[in-house]
Each structure stands twice: as structure tokens, then as C-alpha cells.
Amino acid sequence: MMHVDRYEQIWIRLSVFVLIAFILAVLTASVSAGIQVPGVVQRVDPNTVTEPGSPWAEPGLRELAPGKYEAYILAQIWVFTPDEIRVPAGSEVTFYVTSKDVQHGFKILDTNINMMVIPGQVSKLTARFDEPGTYTMVCHEYCGVGHHTMYGRIVVEPTQAAAE
Ligand code: CUA
């Protein structure tokens, strides 16, 4: 049998233990905080992405079912189209965001939405808006001199039941 020094054995066990602890920490954080990793959903041609037939030709909110929406957002220097979306509280919104020109970012404050927006690629994430209020969406990837002016908002309106 191969001889492993006692101290080396201790260090090997310790390294394995640390790895397992890290994996558990990542799993716990992702499940309890609802972290979603944005993946590549779809590829598009940034040159034709706003032509008729493309969902970004008329970007905006579409209702799929009561309380369920999808939002197509077009990013370009230095604006999001649309730059305002209104949904009732308790809504679940899936965002499909793409860029017409350069790389942008898409982050909605106080939600789990935080992704890069790359021309040629569609970024997708889903968020639930339970609390009425205004949620700011910002571009958080530097995209030129007007980068700091690139923002919009999600207005979550109180539902009838909550307003009464
Ligand atoms: Cu778009 Cu920064």
C-alpha cells in the first residue's frame, strides 16, 4: 500500500472538507436567495432585430395569463425601449433583453434581475413583483458617454384588493 504521510493526510482531508463546505454554501445561497444564472436563450442578428417579425420590432409588455407577463426590452445607446413598464402587484415578469449596438447591462434594483446584454444574444430572467412601488432598471455595463443616463423604471401598482 502507498504510504501517505500523516500530515499530508490531514491536509488532503481538510481540502476535501473545504470544497464540500463551499459547494454546500453555494447551493444554500442559490436556493434561499433564488439566484438564477442567465444563460444563452437565443441568438439574434443585431442588425435585423428591430425589423418586422421580430419581437423587438415592437418591444414592450405582453400578458400571457393573469399575473404572468413577458417583457421584450431593447437596449441601445443610451436608452431602454420601453423605459417604463406597469404591472399589478403579484405579477411575474420574464424579461427578454437584447442589444442593437454595444454591450449593455440590465439590472432592476431590489430584485434578482442582473444580467449582461450583448448584441446578438438574448438575456432572459424572471422576477416576481409582490411589493407595489417603483423599481429602477439601470444599465450597469459602461456603454459610452451617455451610460449614466441609461435607465428606466418598473411601476408595480397596488392591486384592487390591496388598495381597498
Ligand atoms: Cu448601456 Cu451603460
What's the gap in Å between 41 CA and the centre of ligand 1? 21
Give the pLDDT of residue 36. 74
pLDDT tens string 57-89: 999 999 999 999 999 999 999 999 999 999 999
Ligand 1 atom having least distance to the Cα of 143 = 2
7 or 37: which leads in pLDDT: 7
For residue 143 and ligand 1, the question of a CB distance below 6 A is answered with yes
**What is the CA(47)–ligand 1 centre distance, in A?**
18
pLDDT in tens, 100-141: 999 999 999 999 899 999 999 999 999 999 999 999 999 999
pLDDT recorded at residue 10: 96
Angle at 152 between CA 149 and CA 157, to 5 degrees: 155
Percentage of residues of the chain with pLDDT beyond 70: 96
Pull the grid cell for residue 9. 493526510
pTM: 0.80
Q: Is the CB of 153 under 6 A from ligand 1?
A: no
pLDDT of 162 strictly over 70 = no
Instruction: Verify whether ligand 1 is closer than 6 Å to residue 97 (CB atom).
Output: no
Counting atoms of ligand 1 from 1, which one is nearest the CA of 78? Answer: 1
What separation in Å is there between the alpha carbon of 124 and the centre of ligand 1?
Answer: 17
What pLDDT score was predicted for residue 39? 67
Q: Within 10 Å of residue 93's Cβ, how many Cβ atoms?
A: 23
Atom 1 in ligand 1: which residue has the minimum CA distance? 104
Structure confidence at residue 35 (pLDDT): 74
